[in-house]
């Protein structure tokens, strides 16, 4: 119907292409994961995924990813703010640096962070003196995930802040609002949807992150072992069905969380951007 | 509240926005800051509001130095050209914003806020759209809401930056009459910025003409229109015909022609002279008086006829003459016809002002 009445041509063609593309690129591999898992009986499946070591890894993976995305959301917003609102020498350089975690091979990031935070590293030495251990602990995982997630928030919030005229802040200030009130009641509602989107992207990336984490994590079972590593472990033992069983649960949880975040984002957009 | 600015200077890099501006705005007046874009009028308004810090100079509210007071504490209502309504808030919440942001001790109860906001919305005749969002309003409605929002905190001064600049011609006209009536009701000292001379002359008690960061003239609309103090003001207010030439003992020499004029300027001085379109008369080319010109277009609708003419020389100067319809018919003008222009009144300024 849309093909006949709409102004834009090619509705059927583009929709068909979109569905085919999504099926080949996204749905097919996901289906393969589920298919492989079906090789296990229900009992075996439950055994694999309810193993205490696996449960600990789930808790760590999702907990650290959520925490890292939350940290990124706060500081990414701050970074975007600084980059948009102020001009200072070297601003372009800082702007380019933001993208570095995108471009860096994750293994390189992992090695760099490990070298930095290991007990004999530059920062690790100082921190060890203070009694804080970063490398080879969950804290190290958090550091790595924060590092790789930050550009997602900055790059989603930045354009939204750029189109936000200083006029709105000036209007609020002239009406007697304090700095905090201006931020809370005028700026935040405007950038919240973008921030939530950035949070979702950072989270999704963090859940799936492997390369940078395994170096700094130390991979101690029950302490600093993430789910992707467990899956690799299973594969190395030629237990493909076990690996896909763990992956299936991870997929379901990730998908559910992303749905929730999406709903949250739609809600924030409705509240924050009445002007469509 | 009266406002005074003293010796305000403001530069943006190499550009001088305000060059030593001193002005006084008496209590309860509606004043227009008028000038072409880039003349510093908006910067001056923002300096008064506290949104911009001057490089030097003082802003005084009721005789007290307010230069170091933050915009929050200045109690000015500022209305932006593009309204700056908070789009995630309803009309009601927008107007209530200033009251709700007050410290808890001073904040009125929610019932009191409701009463005051509705009273303001009635004042701007928009109480029926309290629940809508800014995106659902027309430009004129948005501007009135922006005004209501600024009035909610009971400002001592109302500052409006090109308040009707983004509206279409008809709405502009309505809104400026409405603003005048509103001011007569509230009597709050108001300053508005505009580049539209008609708007300034029609609405304001007093007009401040600005050019290149300086004040050219201050006066009532009649004064500035009928007695422009500088060539710039003459040029800027309404259409005008320009003559450039040299003073001689008996008159003003423009090219080959001599325009009789008794001016207190010494002979030999370079001058610019101005005449409004209705101060020029057209006479046949054979008469030998006035300056030569050639008819380009005749617009004979409305109460009087307008004739556009091309002068001599390179580049050809354009002239505009307004004649009674009968006079125009008696002359039997046709495009291309050579005629001569005789000014009934000339205003002569020394020096060759930039065009």
pLDDT reported for residue B160: 93
> Are B98 and A185 in contact (CB < 8 Å)?
no
pLDDT reported for residue A5: 62
A28 and A158: one domain?
Answer: no
CATH number belonging to the domain at B239-350, selected among 2.40.50.100, 3.90.420.10, 3.20.20.140, 1.10.10.1400? 2.40.50.100
A4 and A63: one domain?
Answer: no
How far is residue B31's CA from residue B293's CA, in Å, rounded to a whole number?
40
pLDDT reported for residue B92: 94
pLDDT reported for residue A272: 62
- Which CATH superfamily does the domain covering B3-235 fall into? P-loop containing nucleotide triphosphate hydrolases (3.40.50.300)
B149 CA: distance to closest CA in chain A (Å): 8
A24 and A60: one domain?
Answer: no
pLDDT reported for residue B346: 84
A164 CA: distance to closest CA in chain B (Å): 10
For residue range A82-131, list pLDDT tens digits in order.
999 888 898 999 999 998 888 888 889 888 888 888 888 888 888 888 88
SS3 of residue A128 by DSSP: helix
Interface of A with B in 182-241 (CB under 8 A): 185-186, 189-190
Report whether pLDDT(B256) > 80. no
DSSP state of B136: G
Closest CA to A11 of A20, A19, A2: A2
For residue range B103-122, list pLDDT tens digits in order.
988 899 999 999 999 999 99
**Residue A276: which pLDDT band, with cuts at 50, 70 and 90?**
very low
Closest residue in B to A169 (Cα–Cα): B84
A16 and A55: one domain?
Answer: no
Which candidate in B72, B80, B116 is best for mutational testing of the A interface (most A CBs within 10 A)?
B72
- Asked if A271 has any chain B CB less than 8 Å from its own CB, the reply is yes
Considering chain A, what is the average pLDDT of its residues? 87
> Which CATH number do you get for residue A172?
1.10.3720.10
Q: Which residue's structure tokens are 């983004």?
A: B166
Closest residue in B to A178 (Cα–Cα): B72
Mean predicted confidence (pLDDT) in A250-265: 89
* Domain definitions of chain B by residue range: 3-235, 239-350
Q: Tokens for B63?
A: 């005789």
**Residue B268: which pLDDT band, with cuts at 50, 70 and 90?**
confident
**Residue B305: which pLDDT band, with cuts at 50, 70 and 90?**
confident
Q: Is the peptide bond before B315 cis (omega within 30 degrees of 0)?
A: yes
**Percent of chain B residues topping a pLDDT of 90:** 36
Closest residue in B to A190 (Cα–Cα): B88
* Structural contact between residues B33 and B193, judged by C-beta atoms closer than 8 angstroms: yes
Q: Tokens for B239?
A: 């259409």
**Residue A266: which pLDDT band, with cuts at 50, 70 and 90?**
confident
> Are B51 and A174 in contact (CB < 8 Å)?
yes
For residue range A184-227, list pLDDT tens digits in order.
999 998 898 899 999 999 999 999 888 888 888 888 888 888 88
For residue range B315-344, list pLDDT tens digits in order.
678 889 988 888 888 888 888 888 888 888
pLDDT reported for residue B8: 93
**Percent of chain B residues topping a pLDDT of 70:** 97
Report whether pLDDT(B69) > 50. yes
Mean predicted confidence (pLDDT) in B35-53: 91
Burial of B261 (0-12, 13-18, 19+ CB in 10 A): buried
Considering chain B, what is the average pLDDT of its residues? 87
Closest CA to B77 of B59, B94, B98: B98
**Residue B148: which pLDDT band, with cuts at 50, 70 and 90?**
very high
pLDDT reported for residue A2: 45
pLDDT reported for residue A274: 47
Mean predicted confidence (pLDDT) in B196-201: 89
B101 CA: distance to closest CA in chain A (Å): 5
pLDDT reported for residue B7: 93
A237 and A193: one domain?
Answer: yes
Q: Which residue's structure tokens are 């010109």?
A: B293
How far is residue A160's CA from residue A167's CA, in Å, rounded to a whole number?
15
A29 and A65: one domain?
Answer: no
Closest residue in A to B95 (Cα–Cα): A175
SS3 of residue A270 by DSSP: helix
Closest residue in A to B133 (Cα–Cα): A274
pLDDT reported for residue A203: 92
B287 versus B262: the higher-pLDDT residue is: B287
SS (H, E, C) A219-258: CCCCCCCCHHHHHHHHHHCCCHHHHHHHHHHHHHHHHHHH
Mean predicted confidence (pLDDT) in B217-224: 92
A67 and A178: one domain?
Answer: yes
A5 and A116: one domain?
Answer: no
A106 and A210: one domain?
Answer: yes
Handedness of CA B165, B17, B50, B75 (dihedral sign): negative
Per the DSSP assignment, residues forming a β-bridge with B207 are B32, B219
For residue range A137-165, list pLDDT tens digits in order.
888 899 999 999 999 999 999 999 998 88
Domain that holds residue A76: 42-272
For residue range A4-55, list pLDDT tens digits in order.
566 777 888 889 999 999 999 988 988 988 888 888 888 888 888 888 888 9
Cα-based torsion angle of the residue sequence B65, B70, B76, B77 in order, rounded to the nearest 10 degrees: 160
Mean predicted confidence (pLDDT) in A240-250: 88
Q: Number of A:B CB contacts under 8 A?
A: 75
* A273 → closest Cβ in B71, B80, B87: B87
Mean predicted confidence (pLDDT) in B248-275: 79
Interface of B with A in 102-161 (CB under 8 A): 102, 133-135, 149-150, 152-153
Which candidate in A168, A174, A271 is best for mutational testing of the B interface (most B CBs within 10 A)?
A174
Torsion angles phi and psi, residue B118, rounded to 5: -65, -35
A28 and A84: one domain?
Answer: no
How far is residue B268's CA from residue B285's CA, in Å, rounded to a whole number?
28
> Are B101 and A172 in contact (CB < 8 Å)?
yes
> Are B84 and A168 in contact (CB < 8 Å)?
yes
> Are A172 and B153 in contact (CB < 8 Å)?
no
Residues of chain A with Cβ-Cβ distance to B72 below 8 Å are 173-174, 176-178
A171 and A93: one domain?
Answer: yes
Is this structure's pTM higher than 0.80? no
How far is residue B265's CA from residue B247's CA, in Å, rounded to a whole number?
7
Which candidate in B13, B101, B129 is best for mutational testing of the A interface (most A CBs within 10 A)?
B101
* Structural contact between residues B244 and B315, judged by C-beta atoms closer than 8 angstroms: no
A119 and A78: one domain?
Answer: yes
Which candidate in A176, A185, A193 is best for mutational testing of the B interface (most B CBs within 10 A)?
A176
Residues 6+ apart with CB under 8 A from B114: B96
């Amino acid at each position: 119907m849309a093909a006949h009445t709409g102004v834009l041509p090619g509705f059927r063609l583009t929709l068909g292409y979109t569905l085919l593309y999504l099926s080949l690129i996204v749905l097919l591999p996901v289906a393969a994961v589920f298919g492989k898992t079906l090789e296990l009986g229900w009992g075996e499946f439950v055994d694999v995924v309810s193993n205490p070591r696996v449960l600990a890894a789930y808790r760590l993976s999702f907990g650290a990813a959520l925490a890292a995305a939350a940290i990124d959301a706060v500081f990414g917003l701050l970074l975007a703010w600084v980059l948009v609102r102020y001009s200072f020498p070297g601003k372009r350089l800082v702007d380019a640096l933001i993208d570095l975690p995108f471009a860096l091979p994750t293994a390189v990031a992992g090695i760099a962070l490990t070298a930095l935070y290991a007990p004999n590293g530059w920062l690790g030495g100082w921190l060890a003196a203070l009694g804080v251990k970063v490398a080879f602990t969950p804290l190290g995982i958090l550091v790595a995930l924060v590092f790789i997630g930050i550009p997602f928030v900055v790059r989603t919030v930045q354009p939204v802040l750029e189109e936000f005229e200083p006029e709105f802040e000036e209007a609020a200030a002239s009406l007697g609002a304090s700095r905090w009130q201006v931020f809370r009641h005028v700026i935040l509602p405007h950038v919240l949807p973008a921030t939530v989107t950035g949070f979702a992207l950072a989270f999704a990336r963090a859940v799936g992150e492997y390369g940078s984490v395994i170096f700094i994590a130390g991979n101690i079972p029950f302490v600093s072992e993430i789910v992707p590593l467990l899956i690799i472990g299973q594969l190395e033992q030629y237990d493909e069905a076990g690996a896909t069983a763990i992956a299936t649960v991870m997929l379901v949880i990730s998908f559910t969380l992303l749905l929730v975040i999406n709903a949250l984002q739609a809600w924030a957009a409705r509240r924050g951007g009445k002007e469509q | 509240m009266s406002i005074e600015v003293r010796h305000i200077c403001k530069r943006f890099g190499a550009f001088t926005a305000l060059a030593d501006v001193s002005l006084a705005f008496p209590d309860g007046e509606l004043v227009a800051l008028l000038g072409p874009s880039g003349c510093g009028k908006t910067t001056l308004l923002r300096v008064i509001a506290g949104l911009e810090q001057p490089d030097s100079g003082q802003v005084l509210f009721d005789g007290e130095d307010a230069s170091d007071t933050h915009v929050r504490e200045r109690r000015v209502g500022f209305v932006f050209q593009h309204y700056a309504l908070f789009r995630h808030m309803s009309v009601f919440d927008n107007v209530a914003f200033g009251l709700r942001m007050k410290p808890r001790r001073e904040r009125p109860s929610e019932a009191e806020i409701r009463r005051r906001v509705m009273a303001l919305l009635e004042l701007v005749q928009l109480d029926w759209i309290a629940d809508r969002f800014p995106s659902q309003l027309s430009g004129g409605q948005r501007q009135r809401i922006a005004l209501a929002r600024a009035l909610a905190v009971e400002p001592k001064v109302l500052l409006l930056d090109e308040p009707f600049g983004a509206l279409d011609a008809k709405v502009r006209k309505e809104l400026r009459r409405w603003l005048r009536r509103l001011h007569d009701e509230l009597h709050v000292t108001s300053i508005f910025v505009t580049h539209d001379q008609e708007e300034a002359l029609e609405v304001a008690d007093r007009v401040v003409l600005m050019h290149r960061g300086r004040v050219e003239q201050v006066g009532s609309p009649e004064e500035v229109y009928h007695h422009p103090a500088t060539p710039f003001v003459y040029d800027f207010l309404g259409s005008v015909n320009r003559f450039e030439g040299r003073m001689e003992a008996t008159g003003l020499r423009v090219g080959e022609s001599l325009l009789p004029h008794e001016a207190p300027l010494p002979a030999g001085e370079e001058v610019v002279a101005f005449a409004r379109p209705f101060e020029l008369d057209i006479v046949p080319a054979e008469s030998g008086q006035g300056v030569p010109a050639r008819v380009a277009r005749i617009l004979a609708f409305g109460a009087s006829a307008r004739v556009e003419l091309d002068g001599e020389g390179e580049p050809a100067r354009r002239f505009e003459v307004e004649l009674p319809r009968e006079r125009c018919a008696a002359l039997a003008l046709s495009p291309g016809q050579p005629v001569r222009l005789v000014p009934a009144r000339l205003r002569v300024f020394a020096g060759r002002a930039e065009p």
